[in-house]
Amino acid sequence: MTISQAAGNVCTVSALNTKKHQTSNSVDSEVIYLPNTDCTIKPQACLSAFTSYRVGGAADLYVAPRNLEALQASLKYAKERDLKVTTLGAGSNLLVSDRGISGLVIATRHLRFSNFDPQTGQLTVAAGESIPSLALAAAELGWQGLEWAVGIPGTAGGAVVMNAGAHNSCIADMLVSAEVLSPDGTLETLTPEQLGYGYRTSLLQGGDRIITQATLQLAPGADPAKVVALTKEHKKHRLNTQPYNFPSCGSVFRNPKPYSAGWLIEQTGLKGYQIGGAQVALLHANFIVNRGGAKASDIFCLIRHIQHQVQERWSINLEPEVKMLGEFQGACG
């Protein structure tokens, strides 16, 4: 689906169709319909179904717009109600609190569009496009540059925000520009320099701007069979070295160079250590897996335990790569 760049018909609060009266200080129990869009805002939506950890409480309000107009309408609704906005992509690098998330959660997973331009070698994608799917599609066309990304379980928007990477490559290496939407509904196109990229970081983290689409520079013209083979090799390597048999968020900690977080955790003797249903993965110690029935608090407390133990032994502070959303105060007793 193409994301329109026109402003469209953005709803006003007074035009909202609901079955109950809305006030600025209350959350309605009824579904809210944003007029002139195919968009509905749902109250008390359970977020565990939308995170790769399969844990987390409910969002006060949840919306999953399918185009730019609906996204702008959702932001306008939140602004006029003075609601905090939280953006959710594929949920693959997140830990959502058992207590849920207040305000409005906007999921970008349904913002879908991709365009391969053979004249420029550029790939323009909407925020909700799957990174593994894009990597395979590029490979089948003989376009080089995304082979490394086939095992990253996230969306294009999340990859841009987090500067996702693997196999000594990352999004910042190939990003031409990113289109972002501000809370007031205005669009802006930013360069990699303006995004302030670092290792698994960007200036968009912790901010209130939402990625709508990105343009990547790739290299067309290669033999598709060779690019596909290399892409599949990268995927096989990840499947053989990382645990995919249980829910996880991917890598939990950033690597504190020159060490790898997984090596430090393993050398500390924490492989297999478990709190509740959360366990340090046996295959790769920088993964925490949900062995079944885990709560977000189990995972959070295991993260804190790992940090404490590594700090005690190595005097190194492991910085989480996973983004924690919601309230965790007092989660570990």
Catalytic residue among 54, 99, 200, 291: 200
Indicate the SS3 state at residue 268.
coil
- End-to-end alpha-carbon separation of the chain, Å? 47
- 260 is an active site residue: no
Which residue spans within 195-296 are E strands per DSSP?
A: 210-217, 274-275, 278-280, 288-290
Quote the tokens at residue 249: 């968020």
β-sheet bridge partners, residue 115 = 124
CA distances from 104 to 100, 107, 227, 303 (A): 11, 10, 41, 27
Burial class of residue 221, CB neighbours in 10 A (0-12, 13-18, 19+): exposed
Catalytic residue among 48, 52, 202, 251: 251
Identity at 269, one-letter amino acid code: G
- 200 is an active site residue: yes
**Calpha distance 297→327 (Å, rounded):** 10
Cβ-contact 134, 151 below 8 angstroms: no
Peptide bond into 258 cis (omega under 30): yes
Identify the pLDDT of residue 25: 38
- pLDDT tens for each residue of 50-108: 999 999 999 999 999 999 999 999 999 999 999 999 999 999 999 999 999 999 999 99
User: How much is the CA Rg of the chain, to the nearest whole Å?
Assistant: 21
- 233 is an active site residue: no
Which residue spans within 146-217 are E strands per DSSP?
A: 165-166, 169-170, 175-181, 187-190, 210-217
Identify the pLDDT of residue 255: 94
Identify the pLDDT of residue 29: 63
Identify the pLDDT of residue 28: 52
Q: Which parts of the chain have pLDDT scores under 70? A: 1-29
Identify the pLDDT of residue 38: 85
Identify the pLDDT of residue 95: 98
Kindly give the pairing relationship between strand 278-280 and strand 58-63: unpaired
Identify the pLDDT of residue 36: 82
- How much is the pTM? 0.87
